Structures are given as C-alpha cells and as structure tokens.
C-alpha cells in the first residue's frame, strides 16, 4: 500500500525546528504543540518522536469540556495508541 503522494515523506526546510523539538523531548519528555490545521505540526512531532524513540499521544482538545472529559479522552488515547515502537 502506498501513502498519499501529496504528503511529503520527509520534512522540507524544518530541520532547525525538528532539532529543537528533539532536544525538548529528550530533556523533558513532554511537549504540547498548538497551531492551525495544515501547518505541519503532526509531521514535525511524529518525525521527532521517531528519531528519538518517543511515543506520540494526540488529544483533541476541542472535545474536552471539563476535567473528567479530559481524563476520558486521555484514557481513550492511551488505549488506542499504536503498540508498535517508533524506532
């Protein structure tokens, strides 16, 4: 199965940002990234996580209405996360 030909298979022109994200993840282990759709956040974070062997957990904050809902969504994200390592 081939991927979407319109989605780049590597980051273009974002090496400095990639290095910064890798350094933050290695130093802290946690990172929250916010931004507009189509800005490349997912690709940047997934690439950085893959390079350093970290796992990515995505939470759709638009679905969070209160603290208990956040915990439900967090648990859902943890349970459906891909079990395959990103090495």
Query: Per residue in 43-80, pLDDT tens?
Result: 898 899 999 998 888 778 888 899 999 999 888 888 87
Mean local confidence (pLDDT), 22-36: 86
- Count of beta carbons in the 10 Å neighbourhood of residue 64: 15
Domain boundaries, the chain: 1-56, 57-87
Position with higher pLDDT, 7 vs 87: 7
d(CA 25, CA 40): 17
Per DSSP, helices labelled H in the chain are 15-28, 41-52, 67-80
The Cα-based distances of 31 to 6, 14, 18 in angstroms read 27, 17, 13
């Amino acid at each position: 199965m081939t991927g979407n030909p319109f989605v780049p298979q590597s980051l273009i022109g974002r090496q400095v940002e990639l290095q910064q994200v890798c350094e933050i993840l290695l130093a802290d282990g946690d990172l929250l990234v916010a931004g507009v759709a189509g800005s490349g956040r997912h690709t940047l974070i997934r690439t950085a996580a893959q390079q350093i062997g970290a796992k990515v957990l995505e939470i759709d904050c638009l679905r969070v209405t209160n603290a208990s809902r956040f915990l439900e969504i967090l648990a859902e994200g943890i349970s459906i996360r891909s079990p395959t390592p990103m090495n």
